[in-house]
A and B are shown apart, each in its own frame.
Chain A
Amino acid sequence: MIEYVFILPVLGGLMALFLPTTLGRGLLIITAFLHLQLTVLGWLGKLTPAFINFFKVTPEGMLVLLVTSFIFALISIYAVAYVSETGLKNEPVFICCMLLFLGTMSMVALSDHPIVLWISIEATTLVSAPLIFIKRSKEALEATWKYVMICSVGIALALLGCFFITLSMDIGNVDVPLSFSSLNQVAKQLDPLWLKAGFVFVIIGFGTKMGLAPMHTWLPDAHSQAPSAVSALLSGALLNCAFLGIYKVHALMNVAGLGAFSSNVLIGFGLFSVLVAGIFILNQPDYKRMLAYSSIENMGVIAFGVGVGGIAGYGAILHLIHHSLLKSSLFLSSGNILLGFGTKLVPKVGNMVKLFPKTFVSFFAGFAGISGFPPFGIFISEILIIIGAFQAGRYVSVGVLIFGLILVFAGAARIVMDISFGETSQEVLIKEKFFRIMPSFVLLLTSIGLCIWIPDGIYQKILHTIQIIGGGIHG
């Protein structure tokens, strides 16, 4: 029964509310690693869904699940080190919400029924909201309020989109159970007009959650105000889950023969996100907001790649994996910088190379990776996406994309150079510790490792994922 993948963290999370803090910390790490094992069992095909109406093992879902589980296991180590050093007022709530967050994200990855998918994505918003305002500062409150309101309204529109898809079934006189897998089989009979309307609402709704511009406004606030372990999860895992919702509908559109429409919408939103991120990153005074805008840019790149299809589809899925690894590593490093200097403002921090040599290595390497330098995976994925776009003949779009990427690189490079080598008068508050550095290095090394050798299982899953949108490694 693969449902254990989300039942286990949910039960663990509820239990954590009643446990003393030390036990709760242990529970967080144990549950995270048990979850990773369950995920691996799921990959090996040992687990099958019990509620086949609602859940299904799909290649795209399993990829997202594996990424989520892997980075959560590492982030849980960081989070425990973080809370034991700094102390949180509501630690049981923090641990409970972390585990519930993992549970709801796993549920997203397994959902096959559109409304169940919707329920789980809305649930991720609700259980992650307390994580963002766990510090209870005025800014954190504001960020949480915006996050909950903007995402709830956005996701509510996605529910409307799901209803339109159901309507397209009724008009087409299709009588199958409401689930993505059975809809894919009868896609040609669905009413195209309402399917299109459904897709538009779904991409606006889940796109809000994924951080596509112009619905991204909650994202920089939430990512910069949340504790760094939470920011890493938001960026590395949550955005993928929202993307999964869009991807499933995009796949349905492709099977229904409306792929051209949904591709163009995805490419449009993708390019706009990259450009908006590039503009806002240029004079960004806050390094955590800089990372948040970089997430918006990368989500844009993924949407663009999926929209282009072909070899770019392969690149997009690869991009998703590597972005999760590198960005969560970057957020964890930024957490060390924040603990060390006590400020998020770039002008006040500096000289990291002397004061925090290990964090400097992980932060700088993460920056190199996210900007697309080898030996990290984003180098390959971005090249594949650009090649794919050229093959598809989208010369103008690819020009805009490259221009946006350059803008983001220019903005981010200035900030990273300032932090690393600039002057600072700030005193070091908390030194770097092994358990807060090890996770970011493991994440970076995984990205390098996946670049050199990609396990056949993962390779096959990616190919299966993009098959439905007409993607493949041979273009």
Chain B
Amino acid sequence: MTHITDAVLVIILLSVLLSLGSNRLKALVEIMALQGIMVSLVPLLLEYKAEVHHGGIIFFQIMILIKGVLIPWLLYMAVQRIAIKREVEPIIGYHASLLAGLVVIFVSTIVTQKLHLTLAAGRELLLITAITTLAAGLFLMMSRRKAITQVIGYLMLENGIYLTGTALTKQSHTLYVVEFGVLLDLLVGVMIMGIILHNIKDAFDDVDTTFLGSLKD
């Protein structure tokens, strides 16, 4: 079973690298869907020995539905509406971004080793993946100009934080009602961001955040 978990984690790492190197927005949304599903699977795979009770099974299904289907669908609709296919002229280029992604993985590995946490077996790679996803999400938000890519960066950051939580804390703390609340916040957040995106598109005829710079002191 650890092999499957490791495979899932490697897929998440690859999805992070792919998202950093990809300039087509649709592809980016597809990558996020894949990443969402994989991230939702991780706690399930880690917990397979402990008995997951019924509430848990239902919760993970909802999570896959929200992270893997609903949110990507919302993003997809947003991409359709704003009619922009590519992110041109990012602040940091794609090759440089990919390189930065590799550096992030390297740094997360060092950080994970330096923390000297007594993690359960197989959780080192999880923590490395979590920190990488988190940092790459932040990187994506800062290095791209289009508002939609920034939303995707935010989602990746959130995925990373969720993975960190899974890696660090015991499952016994998990209350599914609470987790569901977090998911609901995320879903509503993406919806609100989508609405604002739509309005930005109407007002400026583009979703470039360089237009959003008139308020300053």
Contacts and interface: CB of A to CB of B under 8 A. Distances in A.
B185 A126 contact: yes
B165 A221 contact: no
A92 to B, nearest CB: 15
Interface stretch (A130-138, A235-243, A363-371): A130-138
Interface stretch (B1-9, B23-31, B86-94, B169-177): B169-177
B161 A122 contact: no
A41 interface: no
Given A113-B178, A159-B182, A163-B164, A143 B196 contact: no
Interface in A263-294: 280, 284, 289
A119 B189 contact: no
Given A153-B141, A156-B157, A170-B169, A145 B215 contact: no
A163 B161 contact: yes
Interface residues of A, number: 45
A122 B178 contact: no
B206 interface: no
B196 A122 contact: no
B176 to A, nearest CB: 12
Contacts of A116: 178, 181
A142 B215 contact: yes
B212 A145 contact: yes
A170 B184 CA distance: 27
Contacts of A169: 173
Contacts of B189: 122, 125-126, 148, 152
A163 B165 contact: yes
Main secondary structure of the interface of A (DSSP, over half): helix
A215 to B, nearest CB: 14
Contacts of A280: 217
Given A166-B169, A167-B169, A145 B164 contact: no
A139 B199 CA distance: 12
Given A113-B178, A145-B147, A130 B203 contact: no
A57 interface: no
Contact of B212 (A54, A123, A142, A225): A142
A133 B147 CA distance: 17
Contact of A119 (B164, B168, B181): B181
B168 A138 contact: no
Is chain B's binding surface mostly helix, strand, loop or mixed? helix
A178 B173 CA distance: 7
B185 A122 contact: yes
A146 interface: yes
B169 A138 contact: no
A115 interface: yes
Given A144-B196, A153-B154, A123 B185 contact: yes
Interface in A133-184: 133, 136, 138-139, 141-146, 148-149, 152-153, 156-157, 159-160, 163-164, 166-167, 169-170, 178
Interface of B: 134, 138, 141, 147, 150, 154, 157-158, 161, 164-165, 168-170, 173, 175, 178, 181-182, 184-185, 188-189, 192-193, 195-196, 199-200, 203-204, 209, 212-215, 217
Interface of A: 53-54, 113, 115-116, 118-119, 122-123, 125-126, 129-130, 133, 136, 138-139, 141-146, 148-149, 152-153, 156-157, 159-160, 163-164, 166-167, 169-170, 178, 220-221, 224-225, 280, 284, 289
List of 10 A-B pairs having minimum Cβ-Cβ separation, nearest first = A119-B181, A142-B212, A163-B165, A166-B169, A221-B215, A122-B185, A167-B168, A115-B178, A138-B203, A126-B188
